[in-house]
Amino acid sequence: MVQDGGRLVGTVTRGDILRHLYQDMLRRPAFLEAEEPEATHLAARNVGALLQARLPGWLNALLRTAGQVADAEGTRAYVVGGFVRDLLLGVENLDVDLVVEGDGIAFAETLVKRLGGRCTSHRTFGTAAIILPDGFKLDVASARAEYYEYPAALPTVEHSSIKMDLARRDFSINALAICLNAGAWGRLLDFFGGQRDLKDRCVRVLHALSFVEDPTRILRAVRFTVRYGFHLGRQEEHLVANAVRLGLPGRLAGPRVLNELRLIFAERDPLAILQRLQTLGVLRAIHPALEPGRGAEAAARRLAEVPAAGGAPGAGVRPQGWQLWLLALLADRRPPEVRAALRRLQPPPRAAAKLLKDAADFRRLRRTLGRRGTYRPSAVARLLRAVSPEVATLLAARADREELRAALADHLMRGAHLRPALAGRDLQALGIRPGPVYRAILDTLRDARLDGRVGTREEELALVRRRFHKAMSNE
């Protein structure tokens, strides 16, 4: 509250303070203008040759067209963010984000007339997505600044300049832009030392309030350190510890956390990211059940060896990567813990129900399979008939005995997708009246194929005539 001589004249909220501090930081010359000699030299660098050398010709032509449209519209257009970061690192990245100093939607609508395809826009955010005739997608946004009313809130957005747009980015290595206008084609904008941090292999935030404003940046920061073999800056480690101490990761909305986890699960080494987040105390701050235990660690090390983890050749149904990884984290937890974690993450209702069932199926089948001495393919297929591919894949990854692991791998490669040569019309041609007996016959044929007792259509016909001759007489 603000008082004047004991009289209430107004209030100052946390949002007001955060906005003031953030905008004050942006106004500082050292923050925006890169006035040090080295920084000025780096900011003036031209990477047109890199664009020519490292991008396919069609993409270079597309970016040139975007620059021509910007010139015609009297505005500036830039390719920004991760695309620029990976270009400098020599990593392929065709995820193109354009930022326009002006009306991004109008720019996108003009650009799509030149390129063909279709354009969808979101006027509230000043963004548009262009889908080209060949299916390639690029995103266009108006340059904007943003501020946060309170920690972990969604940002409030205002139109601004390319400097302010880059200033709102998460890390210096992502706050890079390349001009596409003809007169400045290939000019690299680096106001925050992103090139220096790429060279030093460091993930650094742009200001001290970054993790307070948006704690999801902590998860992204760790994801980038593992992906590129980088490290967190010393200040960043202190800022993460402070955010965890304040409980800020726990204040994030469930869907935002789940989205970040899905991005982590799509990385080459999700376990390393999760373990680093665990060491920093981030996962426990979000929900203790998300911390990887021994079972999840064992599964993670073997998932790459399980055929269905990457989608078995010819498979009709493949496991969903994020659901498989989330199941691996939760499978050993007690049912109340699983339910609590799902309430925290708030996945879509059908996905939540499926994950809850998958966790129960995994626990039940792991006990059942652990008691068996032999694993006939048909018996394994019957046990796993009603479970999801995520459960079957995790069972294989967690199998303790080699013979069980081999049996489950065979099921994932073959048993889960094997079908008899005969079909319903063939049974009808044999004089078998349609009904429940069809399912019994087809299951018998599948089991016989799995166990190697039949291998041809003729052998299947012989088996049906031998085992189901009574059904054939009911014409």
Domain assignment of residue 270, yes or no: yes
Domain residues for 306?
217-415
Record the tokens describing residue 36, joined without a space: 């040090």
**What band does 311 get if pLDDT is binned at 50, 70 and 90?**
very low
- Report the distance separating Cα 134 and Cα 292, nearest Å: 41
Tell me, what's the pLDDT at 84?
97
Q: Other C-beta atoms within 10 Å of 196: how many? A: 16
Record the tokens describing residue 175, joined without a space: 């706050």
Among 463, 452, 451, 453, CA closest to 426: 463
pLDDT at 416 over 90: no
Tell me, what's the pLDDT at 131?
96
Domain assignment of residue 9, yes or no: no
Tell me, what's the pLDDT at 302?
86
* Domain's final residue, options 149, 173, 200: 200
- Any idea which residue has 């941090």 for tokens? 197
**Residues 411, 431 within the same domain:** no
pTM above the 0.95 mark?
no
Domain assignment of residue 209, yes or no: no
- Report the distance separating Cα 283 and Cα 294, nearest Å: 16
CATH assignment at residue 31: 3.30.460.10
Across all residues in the chain, what is the average pLDDT? 86
**Residues 246, 128 within the same domain:** no
Phi-psi region of 185 (alpha: psi -120 to 50; beta: other; left: phi over 0): beta
* Domain's final residue, options 374, 394, 415: 415
- Report the distance separating Cα 439 and Cα 427, nearest Å: 11
Tell me, what's the pLDDT at 37?
35
**Residues 54, 143 within the same domain:** yes
* Domain's final residue, options 368, 392, 415: 415
- Report the distance separating Cα 66 and Cα 60, nearest Å: 10
Tell me, what's the pLDDT at 6?
58
**In the chain, pLDDT over 70 holds for what percent of residues?**
84
Tell me, what's the pLDDT at 26?
41
pLDDT at 272 over 70: yes
Among 252, 191, 159, CA closest to 41: 191
**Residues 283, 342 within the same domain:** yes
Q: Rounded to whole angstroms, what are the CA distances from 101 to 67, 77, 141, 165, 181?
A: 12, 7, 9, 9, 12
Q: Which runs of consecutive H residues, i.e. helices, occur in 149-193?
A: 162-167
**Residues 154, 250 within the same domain:** no
pLDDT at 54 over 80: yes
CB 311 within 8 A of CB 318: yes
pLDDT at 410 over 90: no
Crossing angle of helices 294-303/389-398, nearest 10°?
Answer: 100
Number of domains in the chain: 3
Phi-psi region of 291 (alpha: psi -120 to 50; beta: other; left: phi over 0): beta
Q: Other C-beta atoms within 10 Å of 316: how many? A: 9
Among 12, 33, 377, 57, CA closest to 191: 33
- Report the distance separating Cα 463 and Cα 441, nearest Å: 9
3-state secondary structure of 242: helix
**Residues 287, 341 within the same domain:** yes
Domain assignment of residue 56, yes or no: yes
- The residues near 435 (Cβ < 8 Å, ≥ 6 apart) are none
* Digit-coded pLDDT (tens) for 462-473: 999 998 888 776
Beta bridge pairs of residue 46 = 187
**Residues 387, 242 within the same domain:** yes
**Residues 99, 135 within the same domain:** yes
**Residues 443, 366 within the same domain:** no
When pLDDT is averaged across residues 228-238 and rounded to a whole number, the result is: 96
pLDDT at 25 over 50: no
- Report the distance separating Cα 392 and Cα 404, nearest Å: 12
Domain assignment of residue 211, yes or no: no
Q: Are β-strands 231-232 and 202-203 bridged in parallel, bridged antiparallel, or unpaired?
A: parallel
**Residues 36, 162 within the same domain:** yes
- Report the distance separating Cα 205 and Cα 235, nearest Å: 9
Q: Which helix (H) or strand (E) holds 3?
A: strand 2-4
Phi-psi region of 5 (alpha: psi -120 to 50; beta: other; left: phi over 0): left
**What band does 17 get if pLDDT is binned at 50, 70 and 90?**
very low
203-238 burial, b if ≥16 CB within 10 A, otherwise e? bbbbbebbbbbbbbbbbbbbbbbbebebebbeebee
Q: Which helix (H) or strand (E) holds 399?
A: none
* Digit-coded pLDDT (tens) for 365-382: 999 988 877 788 998 988
Domain assignment of residue 1, yes or no: no
Kindly report the CA angle at 155 between 96 and 204, in degrees rounded to 5? Answer: 65
Q: Which runs of consecutive H residues, i.e. helices, occur in 28-56?
A: 29-32, 37-43, 48-54
In single-letter form, the type of residue at position 158 comes to E
* Digit-coded pLDDT (tens) for 183-232: 999 999 999 999 999 999 999 999 999 999 899 999 999 999 999 999 99
Tell me, what's the pLDDT at 2?
47
Q: Other C-beta atoms within 10 Å of 191: how many? A: 22
**Residues 441, 403 within the same domain:** no
- Report the distance separating Cα 469 and Cα 467, nearest Å: 6
**Residues 396, 283 within the same domain:** yes
Domain assignment of residue 6, yes or no: no
- Report the distance separating Cα 95 and Cα 79, nearest Å: 10
Record the tokens describing residue 168, joined without a space: 């709102």
Domain assignment of residue 28, yes or no: yes
Tell me, what's the pLDDT at 474?
53
- Any idea which residue has 């005539």 for tokens? 465
Tell me, what's the pLDDT at 357?
96
